Amino acid sequence: MKNIFLFGECMIELMSASQGQSSNTMQQSFAGDVFNTAVYLKRTFADVQVNLVTAVGKDQFSLAMIQYFESENIAADLVFKSATRIPGLYSIQLDAQGERSFTYWRENSAARQVMQHIDDVATEQLSKGDMFFFSGISLAVIEPAARAEFWLLIDKLKAAGVQIVFDPNYRPRLWSGPEEAQAQFALALDKSDLSLPGVDDFEQLFGMTSVAEVYDYCKPFQVSELVIKNGEQSILVVVDGVSTEFAITPVANVVDTTSAGDSFNGVYLGARIEGYGVNDAITLASKAAGFVIQHRGAITPAEEFSVFIKAQLAAVAKFNKD
């Protein structure tokens, strides 16, 4: 059984009950980029051992959060419980086109101190994984003083043969300034075996507006597998220097883009760790993201997604057989 660890934060999510207009009624759930990725990976590839690495509190929200992880069959062995902190909180507002705006309350979240819990025992467990995934948000959330320790952990995992995966998910408000984020992203790309940058993130951080510019920036880091996402336009995959561009069929009924990238990442990584080729991995990941953005919220209803993704897996299998 393949084994992946996903390092980051899960938060309490509040979403306006009414899209495109103000509402005093909010729906509560749990979400976060790394957690969302874990959910879609596990829902699609049940045979992969999916582990979340984070910290929560001992409050009722935290206990409910852990129960939610377990209901999605995500291992919580490395979900640490802080005696003094609680999970972060964010709210989402959607406009009529399904585009998002966020408000965060996470300065004192338990996940900021997760590195305090990563001891030798935890490091040994992480070293037995096949893949370790983290994002730009993961980097931004942990306390700056703990980042040197985080990079030492990454070096140990690489030395143990664990594949390091980085999603440069950039949120300007989480950083003291773009220079801080640029320096950390450079370190991340330098240590990554697989990275999934998006043109939109690089536009915000570097002013880059094309796939070519993003590729030119990433090329010196010699990432073995680079998946450059350009929204609904295209995806460029570069594996060991060989480039393949994929066209994307836009979705007509976009309801909520909150978890588009996360669902793509989860299904793509699951497909690759399970031995699927790049073409099939892109097909499955793109279909999953297209399905997710036609639903409200970061996490779609489990049964609906299961029915959909099983049909996509069957279609890929049939195509390859024929």
Domain harbouring 9, CATH code: 3.40.1190.20
In whole angstroms, how far apart are CA 259 and each of 36, 55, 92, 187, 225? 7, 21, 12, 26, 22
Segment 189-223, tens digit of pLDDT: 999 999 999 999 999 999 999 999 999 999 999 99
The length of the chain in residues reads 322
Who wins on pLDDT, 87 or 25?
A: 87
Residue 38: helix, strand or coil by DSSP? helix
pLDDT, residue 234, reads 92
Give the strand order in the sheet containing 3-7.
Answer: 79-81, 49-56, 3-7, 131-135, 163-167, 194-195, 225-230, 234-239, 242-247
- Of 201, 256, 262, 280, the catalytic one is 262
State pLDDT tens for residues 98-118: 666 778 898 899 999 999 999
**Residue 306: which domain range?**
3-321
Q: Structurally, how many domains does the chain consist of?
A: 1
* CA 10/CA 212 separation, integer angstroms: 33
User: pLDDT-based confidence at 91, cuts 50/70/90?
Assistant: confident
| Mode of pairing for the β-strands spanning 194-195 and 163-167 | parallel
- Whole-angstrom Cα distance, residue 80 to residue 83? 10
Here the tokens at position 265 are 């990442």
**pLDDT band per the 50, 70, 90 thresholds, residue 300:** very high
What is the pLDDT at residue 22? Answer: 56
Average pLDDT, the chain: 93
pLDDT bin (cut points 50, 70, 90) of residue 21 is: low
| Residue 71 pLDDT level (bands cut at 50, 70, 90) | very high
pLDDT above 70: residue 137: yes
Closest Cα to residue 30, out of 14, 46, 41?
14
Whether 193 is catalytic: no
Give the pLDDT confidence of 152-183 residue by residue, as tens digits: 999 999 999 999 999 999 999 999 999 999 99
Give the pLDDT band of residue 248 (cuts 50, 70, 90).
confident
On the question of pLDDT at 316 being above 70, the answer is yes
Tell which phi-psi region holds residue 34, choosing left (phi > 0), alpha (psi between -120 and 50) or beta.
alpha
